Chain A
Amino acid sequence: MSKEFEMAKVVSQKELQPGIFSMWLSCHAAKSAVPGQFLNVYTKNKEKRLPRPISICEINGEKGELRLVYRVTKEGSGTEEFSKYETGEEVRILGPLGNGFPVEDFKDKKVILMGGGIGIPPMLGIADCVGKNATAVLGYRDKNTFLTEDFEQAGTTLCLASDDGSIGVHGNVIDAIKENKVEGDVIFACGPTPMLRGIKAYAKENGITCYISLEERMACGIGACLGCVCQSKDKDHHSKVHNKRVCKDGPVFLAEEVEL
């Protein structure tokens, strides 16, 4: 049997901004993970049965550690439970799940990373791999940014936008990419669906290859329940309809592969 649940150990936990947490986990999953893949994280509260899918933010394969950066959605939620975990505590996880970004294929190319809000963390894992070759176009709500130093440390050029204009370009990541005339051979993106729709259109207009990471409600996370599908342009190989499974066929897709 090739897949296994495991008990990961919390290495550290830190609140980056109010309600945004960063947690490093020591786990076997770190050995094979690539940027864009995710973990199913299970709560200790037995009343919450379904997994919380969380993208892998950073990978330290040598130390066997993974970083998750996540937003606490509300009081009493599963993510709130995660935010209370202390160093040494055990967490039940399954992963790495899904397909990541094809980072290796673009190692020597100019890469544009586009992240909005809680879609920013998975971009950092790519920045760690491509560093100087990347420009990160990051969209925040306001000047309460997170992870920007980490991107700088990776050697990535930063280009910020905020909804209220308190930092960077006033507007969204599309406004920022246009205003700063950011150029590149490929876009890797993660964020809310309207943003991804805009990025897909922008990439098409400018003839740039574009990969996006999608979100959907999940029950199994491994491709069995068919809960998490997105609409795909071509017939999917599983059900021969136009429904790719975000958990198994994604969460990263070639933008033109999917209807948003």
Chain B
Amino acid sequence: MASLKVNFAGVEFQNPITTASGTFGSGMEYGEFVDLSKLGAVTTKGVADHPWPGNPTPRVAEVKGGMLNAIGLQNPGIETFIERDLPFLHEKHAKIIVNVCGHSEEEYLNVVRRLATEDVDLLEINISCPNVKEGGISFGTNPKGVEEITKAIKKEAVQPVVMKLSPNVTSITEIAKAAEAGGADGVSLINTITGMKIDIERQSFVLANKTGGMSGPAVHPVAVRMVYEVANAISLPIIGMGGVETAEDAIEMLLAGATMVSVGTANFYNPYATMEVVDGLENYLNRKNISDVNDIIGLVK
């Protein structure tokens, strides 16, 4: 029996598989399909310091190879999250990665400070959402901005800080290096790739927001390439994501250099995807006579 245990920024996880933020809520809905305690961790939907309504609808669209979303980070705010969602996840014995969003440095810091006394395992800071006008991606696309916000958050954070990077940049390694310079404990990538879909009958945009973030299987090769590049550019651990729907996809991420892997859009069409990935990963290691999942992390050079 292979060991699936990983250590990410000093935190132990029973396996490397988590959920991509925003595709799994806080686990309540998918908890009716899968045993949340069997996941490496649940990564929650982005949470801000106050409730956000998000963008107008339609805000999801099916496209070739995946989907577009322009949810715009609707969330109930940190107080409700702490009162309702955290106790639920604790009761389910899930490890917890909280995804944090904000319109300004102060808003990110408010959430990070509020979480300082809560029992959560990692903070994932979303500086890469393409669907909000202020904050989000505007923090995540220039190295100086990334370094500064990382520093500011690290000053206040009690839990290890993982910066979530955008693929919508010329050089993701520059951004990753900036996060490292700012003192991040890890990085996660990729967030969605900005896309667009046009309805040729109505001759208008399918999404009310015009653009949306592309996710799903079509982005997987892009994500694997970026994880590989970042793994070779910095020495921080990586949560890899983007189009992972099977164990094979997750294993690619691990081989490319990710320590943990998130399953996102795949949950929407296969609520059991996370469990199938965990089981498939274990089978792969057994078949290859590899006793420890850590032996394949970053194996492909």
A residues with CB within 8 A of B: 1-5, 42, 47-51, 216-220, 222-230, 238-243, 248
Residue B235 lies at the interface, judged by CB distance under 8 Å to chain A: no
Question: Taking the nearest CB of chain A, how far is it from the CB of B40, in angstroms?
Answer: 19
Q: Are B57 and A217 in contact (CB under 8 A)?
A: yes
Kindly state the separation between the CA atoms of A222 and B271 in the bound complex, as whole angstroms.
Answer: 10
Q: Are B76 and A219 in contact (CB under 8 A)?
A: no
Question: Taking the nearest CB of chain B, how far is it from the CB of A248, in angstroms?
Answer: 8
A-B interface, 7 closest residue pairs, ranked by CB to CB distance from nearest = A227-B60, A241-B53, A3-B32, A224-B25, A224-B29, A240-B51, A50-B62
Contact for A219 among B51, B64, B67, CB less than 8 A: B67
Name the A residues within 8 Å of B69 (CB-CB).
219, 225, 227
Q: Are B53 and A239 in contact (CB under 8 A)?
A: yes
Q: A3-B33, A220-B29 are in contact. List 7 more A-B contacts (CB 8 A).
A: A49-B216, A222-B32, A227-B57, A227-B59, A228-B60, A229-B59, A241-B53
10 chain-A/chain-B pairs, Cβ below 8 angstroms:
A50-B60, A51-B268, A220-B29, A224-B267, A226-B71, A227-B69, A227-B71, A229-B54, A229-B74, A241-B76
Given contacts A219-B60, A227-B59, A240-B76, contact A4 B268 (CB under 8 A): no
Given contacts A5-B271, A225-B268, contact A50 B67 (CB under 8 A): yes
- A-B contacts counted at CB < 8 A amount to 107
Residue B30 lies at the interface, judged by CB distance under 8 Å to chain A: yes
Q: Are B60 and A49 in contact (CB under 8 A)?
A: no
Q: Are A224 and B23 in contact (CB under 8 A)?
A: yes
Name the B residues within 8 Å of A243 (CB-CB).
53-54, 74
Q: Are A1 and B35 in contact (CB under 8 A)?
A: yes
Question: Taking the nearest CB of chain B, how far is it from the CB of A115, in angstroms?
Answer: 23
Given contacts A49-B66, A220-B268, A241-B51, contact A225 B77 (CB under 8 A): no
Question: Taking the nearest CB of chain A, how far is it from the CB of B69, in angstroms?
Answer: 7
Given contacts A229-B74, A240-B76, contact A42 B33 (CB under 8 A): no
Name the B residues within 8 Å of A248 (CB-CB).
29
Given contacts A50-B269, A224-B29, A242-B53, contact A217 B59 (CB under 8 A): yes
Residue B195 lies at the interface, judged by CB distance under 8 Å to chain A: no
Q: Are B269 and A49 in contact (CB under 8 A)?
A: yes
Closest to B24 in A: A224
Q: Are A42 and B269 in contact (CB under 8 A)?
A: yes
Closest to B66 in A: A49
Name the B residues within 8 Å of A242 (CB-CB).
53
Question: Taking the nearest CB of chain A, how far is it from the CB of B117, in angstroms?
Answer: 22
When each residue 70-81 of chain B gets 1 if its CB lies under 8 Å from chain A and 0 otherwise, what string results? 010011110010
